Amino acid sequence: MMILNFILPSILFIMGVFTFVFNRKHLLSMLLSLEYMVLSLFLLLFIYLNMINYEFFFSMMFLTFSVCEGTLGLSILVSMMRTYGNDYFQSLNILQC
């Protein structure tokens, strides 16, 4: 049972990595897969801290940083939508500032 608790979040994280790698066309789908990976890492961290009977203060810090990461991603998405009109990575031009 203990091995199953570590296998499930690991499989969820690997599935998140595959969706991140294969859905590179839109910024929104990449941000959603990143948040999925963060939630699977949080589940793994919560299970690990619960097994060793440790305090959950670190998990609250992890959630705080993941919310900050999500906010930064959404602000980049809004900025990109206002500038280019869509969230395609193909519409970006590296030569423009």
Q: Does residue 77 form part of some domain?
A: yes
Q: What CATH number does the domain containing 40 carry?
A: 1.10.287.3510
- Using CA atoms, how far apart are residues 22 and 32, in angstroms rounded to an integer? 13
Whether 79 is covered by a domain: the verdict is yes
Q: Could you tell me which residues come within 8 angstroms of residue 76 by beta carbon, excluding any fewer than 6 positions away?
A: 27
Q: Tokens for 7?
A: 């296998």
- pLDDT tens-digit series, residues 16-74: 999 988 887 888 888 899 999 999 999 888 888 888 888 888 888 999 999 999 999 88
Question: Is residue 90, in this structure, part of any structural domain at all?
Answer: no
pTM: 0.81
Cα(38)–Cα(66) distance, integer angstroms: 7
Question: Residue 57: inside a domain, yes or no?
Answer: yes
Is 96 part of any domain? Answer: no
Total number of domains constituting the chain: 1
Say if 49 falls within a structural domain. Answer: yes
Domain that holds residue 20: 2-84
